[in-house]
Structure 1
Amino acid sequence: MFRHRTRWLYVGLGVALRAALLGWGVYQDTNMPLPYTDVDYTVYNDGARALWSACPLAATVDSPLYHDEDDLFNEPALAHVHCAQGILPVVSRFVLKNDPTLDEPVEQHFYDSESLWSQIASWCFTLTHPFFRFFASLGDPYARDTYRYTPLLALVLGPAHASGAGALFGKVLFALADVACALLMWAILDERAEMHAHEAPGLASAYATHLPGLLWLLNPFPAQIATRGSADSLVGLLVLAFLYLLIRATPEVALVQEPRVQKLPQPHDPSELRVANQACWCGAAFCLALAVHLKLYPVVYGASVLAHLAKYRHHVLRLLCGIAKPQRRDVLWLGTEFAALCAVMYLLMNVAVWLVWGEPFLRHALLYHVLRQDHRHNFSVYFLPTYLTWDWDAHTSWVHALAASPLASFVPQMIAVALVGFGLGGRDLVMACTVQTVVFVAWNKVYTSQYFLWYLWFLPIIGTTLSFPRRAEVGALIVLWAGAQAAWLALAYRLEFMAQNTFVYLWLSSLGLLLVHVVCVQRCLRAWQRWRHRQAAAKQKAE
């Protein structure tokens, strides 16, 4: 990965840029009226603080006011206590409250300190006591209003508050994850260049080194988002890790054209086939499941992954098993296995979190994002209709019900994302994920500037597979995108911070930004097709 010294230089400059922005953020938060720190970071830390300190044992099992769980909700003196409501913490508090080793038993025959059973029970309780204390003292991060994230994020940030490093710990963590994203970009580029060295030599060009450095590490936009306290860099790290591991486990068949098999080998049983790397296969499923757990939207990549795995399976069945026309069930088997593996891992993660934090986790971290209606701090193309229909009675008419429904944008958005994934995933997995993300973000019912990161971390990778006829076109697209975003943000700032009536103009700028995204995607797909044609022609000429 670091065979080029230039990459080390980019990493050093990227770390220095983020360190400088962290220092500037402290100064701006202290001396300027407009804070540098994002409001979401305050929510993260408040949730982490509640998880770490809102349920002390002194106020629960060690307090004479606490007898059972109902006291946490009915006792006024315990109103400030917010404990995790899952099964494990409730059981842990019950066990600690009824510790048989502390209280003298009522009946001697029930608890005999000299009996073998009591000694085994006492030893088991002593062994598991630290686990009971840990789960019993976990707080509820959802006690903080507007905390709509997985409790795992608060759990990661929580210990920093005990050491007094809570103010910057999360920002440093997110900034380091932001730098690690560039490392994974280089890893993906190197993996693809090695696999397609003969059919697409352009992948190993100097762009493979400079694009992640220039477009990501030295780009102030993602650096600022991470240092302001956005946790999206963790999601980006998981998404890029998932792509890297999946490409290693199931190499892309061809970025240029379908390989031609001149002579098929002797037929073999398709059940004998295995992926190229089983550890990477399982790791890819875990990273995707964890990414979906942190932020629901990566589930849309399922369409691209299924198309990629079907193409890979079709090719290996012909190349390794000698099956000229593989059956559909054999082709789709690998995708079905990966989908099942991801689903099981995701389900286990959610069950584990539910066992600790209970119903508030399901309501705030999962259901909220499906049914949410944001009429503030949200400037998508749907924000003005959502604002105007906020107080409508959904039962007045089916038109009102449809307009006020939070699912009104979900169906067309998912259809468009699925069509893109199935159409491009079998030809270029990274390009398919990129276009899917742009379509998802542009048509999402909730839209803020940090959502741009969701597709920006793909650009340094797909940049090596784009061929524009003129460099001026690249500059024009960048200026067009930046200008549309600047106008959109300026109007949003006037509405949010200056309380000016810019509703209509902001909505029109949202429509303009959507149009700019459509134009950029269309031009990039044209450049991608042009690159494929050039690489195919060069390969045929070399042969």
Structure 2
Amino acid sequence: VKVASISSRTTSILRVRAGGHHDDEVTARASSSSDKGGIRRRTAMADRIHTPQWLLAGAARMLLIVYGMWQDESMAVKYTDADYQVFSDAARMMAMGDSPFERATYRYSPSIAMLLLPNVWVGKLWGKLLFASTDLLVGCLLARILMAQKTDKQQLAFLVNLWILNPIVVNVSTRGNAEALVSLVVMATILAVVQDRPVLAGLFLGLAVHVKVYPIIYSLPLYLSFCREIRRVSFFSDFFNKRSLQFAFSAILSFSVLTGAFFVMYGHRFLHEAYIYHVFRVDHRHNFSLYFYQMYLSMDTSARLVGLVAFAPQVVILIAISLRYGRRNKIGLCICCQTIAFVAFNKVFTVQYLVWYFALLPLAFASGFRVGYRMHLVTTSLLVGGMGMWLGFAYQLEFLGKPMWLTLVTASALMFAGHMSLFCSLILNDARGEEEEERRRTK
């Protein structure tokens, strides 16, 4: 009887425990289903919020492409960027079986000329439509990154609009500039990092560096984003961990395969025009850089010394930012600050370079705006005012022949100050966010 009683109790306990486990599993499944449903609802809601803005963004791009055709035929100052004609000519060379580098001043990856082959077969507007569409795809990836970071829906809509409705971004792509292609691959890299996919992130980074050299500055923070906390006692194993090495090898493989294939096809001239030229480039025309006037005064071997002087602060700042913010939850802020510093201190700086960090600014402010409107007003005034002055005086210099060099230097200095103000506002905004988190934890 005692044995039967004990057996009965044991069976009851096991049933209760089994039932408890079953309930936990049911609860977990319900929670998982609820999370997935919430994600789907958030995505659908974001899509509904964005629909009018997307239509407006697409319409603005189409109108400017059509307007550009009229201005090109009617006015002395053309709407279409000179680079677009270079791309089209290089594509025509490639279609005839020649090297795209037979076209003078084509200093890009042959992949851009390949993408513009339909310019030869379909029509000359193909490239502009491609670049404008790529703009919108960048906005889609930006929205996906922000949703993955659980950004508030109203803030998400505002941040995406900073890109898709940005007049400079719209102008650059509809004039036929290819910067949006690089921005698209950079955003795909960041999305892969946020999703913790090191191999895919590495493949995208290698592609980005192949198309245009500058994304190589993101290598260190992206590598560090796949590292857990690096401790002194286990520095080697923490730094050279499996996931970071997967990222590094994937990036090297992607870049090497693409670059190697084109090297076999076009030889050393490809390497020189697409990469080496940009390292030693000296340009005093159409250049917003703080160093442009010094390069103009020394257009000989000493101009290269100016380039080296400009390179030194870039390296120091880029490494410092990487070490401070090279974490997955701050990767958008880190890369944005790097790009702003790189553009501000670069020896060559054209309007297209602004697109490099415009796509990243929404990620830097994803956690909220904690800096007062006055600082944003000062930053915007310096950047917009400096650029407006520069363009106005550059027109007088180039088309009217007036000596406006010193005035252009002043405009460049204003733009540099604007970039430093923007850089500091991002750092301050993040610092205040960390203070808020610390106060919440201590309560």
Do both proteins adopt the same fold according to a TM-score greater than 0.5, normalized to the shorter chain?
yes
**AA in 1 matched with 2:339:** T
The question of 1:345 aligning with 2:218 is answered no
TM-score between the two structures when normalised by the length of structure 2? 0.84
1:62 equivalent in structure 2 = none
d(CA) in 2 for partners of 1:424, 1:411: 20
Amino acid at match of 1:40: D
- Pairwise mapping of residues 266-281 of structure 1 onto structure 2 (< 5 A)? 280-281=197-198
Q: Secondary structure at the match of 1:376?
A: coil
Q: Distance in 1 between matches of 2:437 and 2:154?
A: 17
Alignment equivalent of 1:188, drawn from 137, 145, 158: 145
Using the TM superposition, give the Cα deviation of residue 191 of structure 1 relative to its aligned residue in structure 2, in angstroms.
Answer: 0.8
Deviations 1:175-228 (A, max 9, x none): 0000011111111111112xxxxxxxxx32510122212x11222210111000
Amino acid at match of 1:231: A
- Matching residue's letter, 1:153: I
Pick from 281, 284, 287: which aligns with 2:201? Answer: 284
Amino acid at match of 2:266: W
Instruction: Provide the rounded CA distance (Å) in 2 between the counterparts of 1:141 and 1:15.
Output: 31
Amino acid at match of 2:217: V
- Runs of at least 5 residues in structure 1 that lack an aligned partner in the other structure: 54-137, 194-202, 250-279, 316-323, 395-399
2:369 aligns to what SS in structure 1?
Answer: coil
Q: Which residues of 2 match residues 189-228 of structure 1 at below 5 A?
A: 189-193=146-150, 203-213=151-161, 215-228=162-175
Structure 2 contact 109–211 (Cα < 8 Å) conserved: yes
2:103 pairs with 1:144: yes
SS of 2:284's partner is: coil
Verify the 8 A CA contact 1:49 1:161 in the aligned structure 2. yes
Look up the match of 2:285: 376
* Match in the other structure for 2:217: 300
Q: 1:302-317 to 2 correspondence within 5 Å?
A: 302-310=219-227, 313-314=228-229
Residue 408 of structure 1 deviates from its aligned partner by 3.4
2:379 counterpart residue number: 477
- How far is the alpha carbon of 1:376 from its aligned partner? 2.4
Q: What residue is the counterpart of 1:60 in the other structure? A: none
Question: Shift in Å at residue 418 of structure 1?
Answer: 1.5
**What's the CA shift for 1:314?**
3.0
Distance 1:431 1:497 in 2: 40
Shift of 1:381: 1.4
| Counterparts in 2 of 1:169 and 1:471: CA distance versus 1, 3 Å | same
Is structure 2 residue 391 aligned with structure 1 residue 489? Answer: yes
Aligned to 2:112: 153
Q: Deviations over 1:328-352 (max 9, x none)?
A: 1221123344223212221111101
Other-structure match for 2:439: 537
Do 1:208 and 1:461's aligned partners in 2 also have CA atoms closer than 8 Å? no
CA positional deviation for 1:472: 4.2
- Taking the aligned partners of 1:457 and 1:469, their CA distance within structure 2 comes to 20
Q: Distance in 2 between matches of 1:536 and 1:12?
A: 41
The answer on whether the counterparts of 1:420 and 1:436 sit within 8 Å (CA) in structure 2 is yes
Aligned residue runs from structure 1 range 110-189, under 5 A: 138-163=97-122, 165=123, 167-189=124-146
DSSP 3-state at the match of 2:283:
coil
Structural mapping, 1:309-328, within 5 Å = 309-310=226-227, 313-314=228-229, 327-328=234-235
* Superposition misfits of 4+ residues, deviation over 4 angstroms: none
Give the superposition deviation at 1:242: 0.3
- Residue 333 in structure 1 maps to residue 240 in structure 2: yes
> What's the offset of the Cα at 1:493?
2.6
In structure 2, C-alpha distance between the alignment counterparts of 1:282 and 1:205, rounded to whole Å: 30
CA distance, structure 2, for counterparts of residue 466 and residue 7 of structure 1: 19
Paired residue for 1:360? 269
Q: Distance in 1 between matches of 2:269 and 2:304?
A: 28
Q: Which protein has the bigger helix share?
A: 2
Match of 2:408?
506
Q: Does 1:40 align with 2:80?
A: no
Choose which of 246, 252, 275 in structure 1 pairs with 2:193: 246
Residue matched to 1:15: 58
CA contact (8 A) 1:314 1:326 kept: no
1:389 Cα deviation from its structure 2 partner: 1.2
Matched, 1:235 2:144: no
For 1:492 and 1:512, locate their aligned partners in 2 and report how far apart those are by CA, in whole Å. 15
Given that residues 434 and 455 in structure 1 are in contact (C-alpha distance below 8 angstroms), is that contact kept between their aligned partners in structure 2?
yes
Partner residue of 2:338?
Answer: 436
Note if contact 1:157-1:170 (Cα within 8 Å) is conserved in structure 2: yes
Larger deviation: 336-345 or 35-44?
A: 336-345
* TM-score normalised to structure 1 length: 0.69
Query: Bigger CA drift: 331-340 or 507-516?
Result: 331-340
Distance 1:45 1:419 in 2: 40
| SS of match in other structure, 1:409 | helix
Bigger relative contact order, structure 1 or 2, given CA contacts below 8 A and separation 6+? 1
Aligned pair count reads: 397
Quick one: structure 1 residues 480 and 504, their matched pair in 2 at CA, closer, same or farther if it must change by over 3 Å?
A: closer
CA contact (8 A) 1:306 1:422 kept: no
On the 8 A contact 2:379/2:419 being kept in 1, the answer is no
Q: 1:358/1:436 Cα in 2 relative to 1: closer, same or farther (>3 Å)?
A: same
Q: Structure 2 CA distance, aligned partners of 1:171 and 1:402? A: 35
Amino acid at match of 1:190: M
Is contact 1:375–1:387 with CA below 8 Å preserved after alignment?
A: yes
Q: Distance in 2 between matches of 1:450 and 1:401?
A: 23
| 1:401–1:47 distance in 2 versus 1, CA, 3 Å | closer
Q: Per-residue displacement from partner, 1:136-181 (whole Å, max 9, x unpaired)?
A: xx21111111110011110111133023x1x100000000000011
State how far apart, in whole Å, the 2-side matches of 1:482 and 1:401 are. 28
- Cα-to-partner distance string for 1:476-529 (whole Å, 9 max, x where unaligned): 432332112212222223223333211122122212211221122112211221
Instruction: Give the Cα separation in 2 of the matches to 1:476 and 1:377.
Output: 25
Distance 1:297 1:41 in 2: 20
Among all aligned residue pairs of Structure 1 and Structure 2, give the percentage whose two residues are the same amino acid: 31
Aligned to 1:259: none
Cα distance per residue 1:343-390 (max 9 Å; x no partner): 222111110111111122011111111122223232311211111111
2:267 maps to amino acid: G
Instruction: Point out where structure 2 has 5 or more consecutive residues left out of the alignment.
Output: 1-42
Deviation track 1:296-350 (CA, whole Å, cap 9, x = no partner) reads: 000001121133222xx239xxxxxxxx987112211233442232122211111
Q: Secondary structure at the match of 1:330?
A: helix
Deviates more, 1:424-433 or 1:445-454: 424-433
> 3-state DSSP class of the match of 1:314?
coil
Code of the residue aligned with 1:387 in structure 2: it is: Y
The one-letter code matched in structure 2 to 1:366 is: Y
CA distance in 2, matches of 1:183, 1:412: 34
Shift of the alpha carbon at 1:35? 0.9
- Give the direction of change, closer, same or farther, for the CA distance of 1:337–1:411 in structure 2 (3 Å limit): farther
In structure 2, how many angstroms separate the alpha carbons of the residues matched to 1:496 and 1:50?
31
| Contact 1:466 1:530 (8 Å CA) reproduced | no
Secondary structure of the residue that 1:139 maps to in structure 2? coil
Is it true that 1:520 corresponds to 2:422 in the alignment?
yes
User: How many angstroms apart in 1 are the aligned matches of 2:152 and 2:78?
Assistant: 43
